[in-house]
Structure 1
Amino acid sequence: MENVTLYLFAILIFFAPLPEVFPQTQSPMKKTENKEVQRKKLYQLLGRLPDRERPITAELISTEEKDGVIIEQLMLDINGQELVPAYFSKPKNASDQLPVVLFNHSHFGQYEVGKNEFVKGRKEMQSPPYAFALAKEGYAGLCIDSWGFGERSGRAELDIFKEMIWQGQVLFGMMVYDNLRALDYLVSRDDIDQDRIATMGMSMGSTMAWWLAALDERIKVCVDLNCLTDFHTLMEQGDLWLHGIYYYVPDLLNHFTTSSINALISPRPHLGLAGEFDPLTHMEGLKIIDKNLQKVYEKDGAPDAWQLNIYPVAHEETAEMRKDILQFLRDWL
């Protein structure tokens, strides 16, 4: 526990805000740099990453039909360092190319769960699990085990973080890389409509969703559930300890705010959902992000494409949230 405390203290010092240069009231987007330049800068902050062009291979481990849904269990070679287990789902009777949702699993300190959240669900989320909820709507889905989770669990998250730092890598960067390559895999499939791709997730999966959508314009719709956290507000409230070690990207706040990262998604549709009593997403920070993104989407000519819904709950998905998510996907995907 002492080591974790020291690490978080070091991160707190390292990420101290620079108000005289990058105040909270700063514009969500530097006027002198276009979004493509910003995306390249954001990607470069993610550490030493494998080649984005390295070949991808996928092995089909098994195929199962359940409740009218085809579930493929896959083993993906996407990073050259360790194989990545995944679930792919689609409606049983689908014949045409399908819209697809790249689903990002959550954390909750439950490392054994990982991608199983997608097909088996979890108590913090509604039923049915998203593999089945999405298939019922006519969507395919893909979810991979992130570093240290599911079939990739067994090593402590903090140990993975430390080892990667020594090698010039960033844990969150490697997580983002795997999901971007998972997207590359998706667009290679004959049963996927490349023009209708969404990403979504809850908690850690929420953060992954808006990072992915910010970095890759192939993602047409973004839904983030319960983790649209304003970094500066998190520091001001003294709550850095609430987020896992994976969350922290070196040098990030010298270049970006939460708002400026999410501004890279505009004008593509983006739904944020948050709990009023969720300690991970302070209301003060949500107001800052909402105000900034309203301006960005207005400027980009898509004022209706950004939505932030607040619910009187904590860190969980409610039936109302599930209903709103599925409706947003129907409207925009």
Structure 2
Amino acid sequence: MEPNMLGAYGPWAASLLGEGPARLSFRNPDFAPAGLEPWRLGTRRRVAELMMEPDAGGVPRAEIQHRFEYDGLDVEHLHWELPYGPPTEAVVLKPAGATGRLPAVLALHDHGGNKYFGWKKVAQIGDELHPIMRAHRDEYYGGLSWANELARRGFVVLVHDAFAFASRRIRLADVPERIRDGLEEVRPESEEEIRAYNRFAGQHESIMAKSLFCAGTTWPGVFLAEDRRALAYLASREDVDPDRIGCGGLSGGGLRTVYLAGTDDRIACACCVGMMSTWRDYALDKSFTHTWMIYIPGLPPDLDYPEILGLRVPRPTLVQYDEEDSLFTLPEMKRADTMLAEVFDKAGSGDRYRGTFYPGPHKFDRPMQDEAFGWFDRWIGG
């Protein structure tokens, strides 16, 4: 027996998942290629049932706080209200002076163990950049704010704060002292306070996940509900072609891409970066490296994690893998890639899936961005 996180229980846990396709996998011989659409609809219903997505309202009414030009881009700094929690802060970027309806991308920010920040991880709207964000950008994004880079290529790019991040984060003043353990917000945006808050937020994840279960929903369900609201707003804009919208992101943004792109046909093109493996990888080796934001109780016997994204077949889908990514094992990343390729091949759309492996650790660097941006150009640009 290979060492694993469950010790002697590991082989038993792996046997629950099995070696063959899950019950609702399109790779299962029970599903014929001609039955693609009934399979997609039925399996999405099952995912929705288990995800327990809450009602986050209709199309948000966005209020523009500032509108200006920065570094060749028209910028809108805005926020919107949802039926619960504080307002969501977001930015919209597009080429300065652009007219007409443009293709668009919903840029989904990462987790990174940093809940104090959200959209600022991938977008920049001024010369001043917080030192923590500069280091974050240098480590994971090749020193670039990738939402800006994509906007310069002719896209409308929307980035919003996800549930429990930045403007949507849990405020210390709103939780009991026994939960915050004496931590107070004293000097906003000081490096010391940000790091202290992120330690608190990391420990608070278990409380949040358990409380969401008790409330009758899941963290993926809340993520999805709020990302759908952002997508609805983006599609409603007069400068956006609603038939040419994509989404993508690294890590936590890749996770959100899996759930949103896999379940919402408004996403015409998707790019998941550094967030693709299998339930078996999580169960035996890697759940300790991951957030509670991934898990949908009861789903693994019906559908493996890659096949949630596979529910979007035959729509164009790019997945980028980092070969030395410490969040996953390489064999299971490769097995996930094979699963997705088999789903798209069986549907007769093998040319619309691409899985690319890059050397190095967890990242979305410049060569990866070049491929991703080219993928968006190919399928929804113009």
Superposed pair shares fold, TM > 0.5: yes
Note if contact 1:115-1:145 (Cα within 8 Å) is conserved in structure 2.
yes
SS in 1 for 2:364: coil
Aligned partner letter, 2:167: E
Note if contact 1:118-1:129 (Cα within 8 Å) is conserved in structure 2.
yes
CA shift at 1:319, angstroms? 2.1
Note if contact 1:79-1:178 (Cα within 8 Å) is conserved in structure 2.
no
Q: For 1:321, which of 342, 365, 368 is the aligned residue? A: 368
SS in 1 for 2:110: coil
- Work out whether 1:61 is the aligned partner of 2:56: no
1:223-276 CA distances to partner (integer Å, 9 max, x unpaired)? Answer: 01111121212323x221100122222222132202321221211111111111
CA shift at 1:214, angstroms? 0.6
- Work out whether 1:227 is the aligned partner of 2:275: yes
1:158 — aligned with what? 206
Aligned partner letter, 2:160: I
Note if contact 1:229-1:280 (Cα within 8 Å) is conserved in structure 2.
no
Change (3 A) 1:18 1:84: farther
Matches of 2:15 and 2:302 in 1, distance apart?
A: 10
- Work out whether 1:44 is the aligned partner of 2:49: yes
CA shift at 1:18, angstroms? 5.5
Matches of 2:165 and 2:14 in 1, distance apart?
A: 31
Q: Which has the higher helix share?
A: 2
2:18 — aligned with what? 23
CA shift at 1:183, angstroms? 0.8
CA shift at 1:17, angstroms? 5.1
Matches of 1:266 and 1:309 in 2, distance apart?
A: 18
2:79 — aligned with what? 75
CA shift at 1:170, angstroms? 1.1
Change (3 A) 1:79 1:300: farther
Mapping of residues 257-296 of structure 1, within 5 Å: 257-296=304-343
1:143-186 CA distances to partner (integer Å, 9 max, x unpaired)? Answer: 11112211222443333323322211212210111001111111
Matches of 1:264 and 1:58 in 2, distance apart?
A: 30
Which shifted more, 66-75 or 123-132? Answer: 123-132
Note if contact 1:222-1:269 (Cα within 8 Å) is conserved in structure 2.
yes
Note if contact 1:214-1:264 (Cα within 8 Å) is conserved in structure 2.
yes
CA shift at 1:57, angstroms? 1.7
CA shift at 1:55, angstroms? 5.3
Question: Root-mean-square deviation (CA), in Å?
Answer: 2.3
Change (3 A) 1:265 1:24: farther
CA shift at 1:189, angstroms? 1.0
SS in 2 for 1:151: helix
Aligned partner letter, 1:135: A
Q: For 1:141, which of 157, 165, 168 is the aligned residue? A: 157
CA shift at 1:315, angstroms? 0.6
Note if contact 1:273-1:321 (Cα within 8 Å) is conserved in structure 2.
yes
Note if contact 1:202-1:225 (Cα within 8 Å) is conserved in structure 2.
yes
Between Structure 1 and Structure 2, how many residues are aligned?
A: 319
1:332 — aligned with what? 379
Note if contact 1:226-1:281 (Cα within 8 Å) is conserved in structure 2.
no
**Bigger relative CO (Cα 8 Å, ≥ 6 apart):** 2
Change (3 A) 1:262 1:86: same
- Work out whether 1:180 is the aligned partner of 2:228: yes
Matches of 1:263 and 1:137 in 2, distance apart?
A: 28
Aligned partner letter, 2:336: I
1:296-321 CA distances to partner (integer Å, 9 max, x unpaired)? Answer: 21222221111111111011122211
CA shift at 1:79, angstroms? 4.2
Matches of 2:105 and 2:236 in 1, distance apart?
A: 15
- Work out whether 1:94 is the aligned partner of 2:111: no
Change (3 A) 1:253 1:72: same
1:241 — aligned with what? 288
Matches of 1:57 and 1:278 in 2, distance apart?
A: 39
Matches of 1:129 and 1:203 in 2, distance apart?
A: 15
Note if contact 2:56-2:226 (Cα within 8 Å) is conserved in structure 1.
no
Matches of 2:81 and 2:166 in 1, distance apart?
A: 16
Aligned partner letter, 2:208: I
Note if contact 1:126-1:322 (Cα within 8 Å) is conserved in structure 2.
no
1:110 — aligned with what? 114
Note if contact 2:254-2:272 (Cα within 8 Å) is conserved in structure 1.
yes
Matches of 1:18 and 1:43 in 2, distance apart?
A: 25
SS in 2 for 1:96: coil
1:125 — aligned with what? 141
Change (3 A) 1:65 1:206: same
Note if contact 2:53-2:224 (Cα within 8 Å) is conserved in structure 1.
no
Any gaps of 5 or more consecutive residues in structure 1? 1-7
CA shift at 1:81, angstroms? 4.2
Any gaps of 5 or more consecutive residues in structure 2? 125-132, 172-200
Q: For 2:300, which of 219, 228, 253 is the aligned residue? A: 253
Note if contact 1:234-1:282 (Cα within 8 Å) is conserved in structure 2.
no
Please give the TM-score of this superposition, normalised by the length of structure 2.
0.78
CA shift at 1:208, angstroms? 0.7
Please give the TM-score of this superposition, normalised by the length of structure 1.
0.88
Matches of 2:279 and 2:165 in 1, distance apart?
A: 25
